[in-house]
Every structure is written in structure tokens, then in C-alpha cells.
Amino acid sequence: MGIDRLKEIIENSKNIVFFGGAGTSTESNIPDFRSAGTGMYKKEEKYPYPPEIMISHTFFISHPKEFFEFFRNEMVFRDARPNDAHMALAGLEQIGKLKTVITQNIDGLHQMAGSKNVLELHGSIHRNYCIDCGREYDLDYVVESPSTIPTCEKCGGIVRPDIVLYEEGLDMRVLNRSIRAIKKADVLIVGGTSLVVYPAAGLVEYFRGDDLVLINKSSTPYDHRASLVINDSIGHVLKQATRDIL
């Protein structure tokens, strides 16, 4: 029933925006942060500090060696490939229905699937830059650096991933583009996110369109405001809902 209703909503839409979180990539074997037993916060501790400390700005500055060990081991999944959710969304963009993907993920899987208009709220592991001179580097440079702390070939400064660490603010240009996209949408599909992390979760407040669709394995604080709530695997749901459309 839920998937049939979602298919109907998609067929009748002209401007879909997708807003996704970590759950969008779990089917690509990238763990999220909060799921019981498997999330980064719930796994057996392998480090002397909790994850939210190790991926903070303060920790990056004061303990760069440990930061990069954690980054390489726990935040980079080079073998990950787009799943059914990524592929369905890329297909909807290609036929003109989906206008924008807004993601909290840093893995680049939406682009790998073929999505073009992707707004990355928390940055991307695939972009890296020198904190001193700004020179840009790719992920391979950081992962394959002969030293634990990757340094700039030009000036010797530390090369860091272009991701939003704890204690750092979101890129306001990306945030404002996301707000504008959501305001224009007639359908907002939110998937794979618990909608508890702000300011990102607050983006839903800007939606003024016809149908708010929430696809998540667990409930969210916005369920009561949605036109449709589906508590299931987002890859399965989007694949089934778009099967006869793409």
C-alpha cells in the first residue's frame, strides 16, 4: 500500500527533492552512527576517545595523527558502491522529476550513481585541501600518504578532508541552496535519517509542497506531519516505487 502510494506521488510530481541521511548508504555496507549494535557510536570501543570527540575540530588540531587514523579506518569505504536507493534517485533525476539531492553523507555515492545536482551538507571525503594554502587533493592522496598526517606538496601544511567536523558550522552556501530547493519542491522525500541532528533536520520546516514522504526504518519526530510514512529499507522502497517509471 505504501509503495503504491509513493509510486502515485512520484508519477504526479514535477519537482521532487530528496533529503537523505546515513541510512541511505547502509545498504552499501557503510555503517551509520546511531543504529543499535552496528552504528559508529554503538560498536565496541577501539579508540581511547568516543567518535564525536575524534571527529571534532579541536581533536583534529590537537591530535592530528589519531584523527587521521580514525578517518582512514572508520570513515573511508573505498569499496562501497551505490545501492538501489542511489540508482533510483539518479534515474528520477535523469527523467526530470527529481531536481535536487540533499545529503548528510560524505561518501560520494550519489554522484557515483549518476546524480548531478547533489548538495552535500557535511562535505565529502573525496575533496581534501591544505589548511594553509588551500591546494586541493583527492582521496587517494590522503589515504595513500606515506606519513600518517598527509601534508601539502606545495607548502607542507596539513591536508584535511573537506568534511564538516563537530564544532564546525555548515557551509552556508550549501545550506541556503538546500533551503531554496526545498521551498520550490512539490514533493520532499526524506530517507535514511532520524531527523534529530540539527541544523540539517530543520530543513524539513521549509517545505511548502504537496507531499512529505518519510522513508526510514524507525520513526522520526516528523512522522505526524508526513503525507506518507514507510518504515522499511529505503533501497527496497525506491526500487519498487520507481520500477515502472524509470
Q: List residues with catalytic annotation.
A: 122
Torsion of CA 152, 158, 162, 163, to 10 degrees: 160
Sequence-distant (≥ 6) Cβ neighbours of residue 55 within 8 angstroms: 67, 70, 71, 75, 165, 166
Angle at which helices 234-242 and 2-12 pack, to 10 degrees? Answer: 60
Check residue 158 and report its DSSP letter: B
Residue 187, phi-psi category: left (phi > 0), alpha (psi -120 to 50), beta (remainder) = beta
Sequence-distant (≥ 6) Cβ neighbours of residue 232 within 8 angstroms: 2, 215, 217
Q: Would you say 194 and 218 are in contact if contact means Cβ atoms under 8 Å apart? A: yes
Give SS3 for 151.
Answer: strand
User: Residue 233 corresponds to which cell in the numbers above?
Assistant: 529499507
Give per-residue burial for 75-94: e unless 16+ CB within 10 Å, then b.
bbeeeeebbbbbbbbbbbbe
Distance in angstroms (rounded) separating the CA atoms of residues 213 and 227: 6
